[in-house]
Structure 1
């Protein structure tokens, strides 16, 4: 883990949807998480970085089923050529979506990833970004998940904070983990500089 990250040209906000951050089903510490993701979004906008809201389309009956209150993005989107919403149906934000093409077309080489769930959609999207050769920064305090319940004969419950840390660790040494979202810096992609 490092203190500050060199500037990135894009911010991926993964699945920060009502079902995950509001009400009974919210991840632990959801209020702080949405404050930090809001700050990341505001600073990315100010510095001209690409902001991509990745929105999960859950299965029928799921808390994030399209069209339900839980599916709605928590943060307001400033629809523009530098802020977009990409919908997905799998954990990986790149799978079957235009995300890869958007990043390439925008001139992005380095990105930050925040959101939920650490060991699922955040990790899966980060893994593909790393495999595609992007520099990936993950602010430790800007992604979250739920506790893993006890599994008889296997383990006791695993606290959410431990799950999030393991999700980072499992991505290997190419991932840049910074302790605080406030330490992520942004810059406009080469194609969007003025």
Structure 2
């Protein structure tokens, strides 16, 4: 685990949608997760880093079904040249989206990833980012998932915190895992549009 990573140029917020962080369907410790993601978002904005809110367009009948209340992004977006919403339909946010082009256009080489769910969309997006040779920082306390239900003759219930840690471990030694979101710092990418 890395304790003091150098600044990153982009923050990728994965699927922080109402279905997963509010009401009966919220992940465990959703309130704490939202505090940390909100802090990351505020600091990324203040530094001029690129902010990408990923929004999963779920299929009909899913908790995040496109257009449903659960599909809505939970955190407010401040749209502009350095903050965008990117829609996706796969776990991997690079799959059939312009994410790579967007990052490359402004010269992003390093990024932090936070959000939901640890072993699915967070992991898939981080893995592809690593494959594409971006530097990836993953704050341990800023991604989450659900408890894994017990499976007869396989295992007891696996707590969400354990599932999230296993998802981190499975990414290998190229990802920079930091214990706390507060340790992540930001800087503007070299190609950020200026207001003058």
Query: Scaled by the length of structure 1, what TM-score is found?
Result: 0.99
Equivalents in 2 of 1:71, 1:106: separation in Å? 28
User: In the aligned structure 1, how far is the partner of 2:10 from the partner of 2:105?
Assistant: 12
Query: Mind listing any 5+ residue stretches in structure 1 that lack a counterpart?
Result: none
Q: Which residue of 2 aligns with 1:127?
A: 127
Rounded Cα–Cα distance in structure 1 between residues aligned with 2:114 and 2:4: 16
Contact 2:81 2:193 in 1 (8 A): no
Shift of residue 4, structure 1, vs aligned partner: 1.8
Q: Distance in 2 between matches of 1:141 and 1:193?
A: 31
Q: Distance in 2 between matches of 1:180 and 1:162?
A: 16
* Shift in CA distance, 105/160, structure 1 to aligned 2, threshold 3 Å: same
How is 1:26-175 mapped onto 2 (pairs within 5 angstroms)? 26-175=26-175
The answer (yes or no) to whether the contact 1:48–1:193 under 8 Å persists in 2 is: no
The runs of 4+ residues in structure 1 deviating greater than 2 Å are none
TM normalised by structure 2 equals 0.98
Number of the residue aligned with 1:183: 183
CA distance in 2 between partners of 1:193 and 1:61 (Å) = 40
In the aligned structure 1, how far is the partner of 2:132 from the partner of 2:2?
23
Q: Deviations over 1:36-77 (max 9, x none)?
A: 000000000000000000000111011101111100001111
After superposition, the C-alpha distances for 1:132-175 in whole angstroms (9 at most, x for unaligned) are 00000000000000000001011111000000000000000000
SS at match of 1:191: coil
Q: Secondary structure at the match of 1:24?
A: helix
The Cα of 1:123 is off from its aligned counterpart by 0.2
Question: Once the 2 structures are TM-superposed, how far is the Cα of residue 35 of structure 1 from its aligned partner?
Answer: 0.7
Aligned-residue CA RMSD (Å): 0.8
Partner SS for 1:54: strand
User: Matches of 2:160 and 2:101 in 1, distance apart?
Assistant: 33
SS in 2 for 1:13: strand
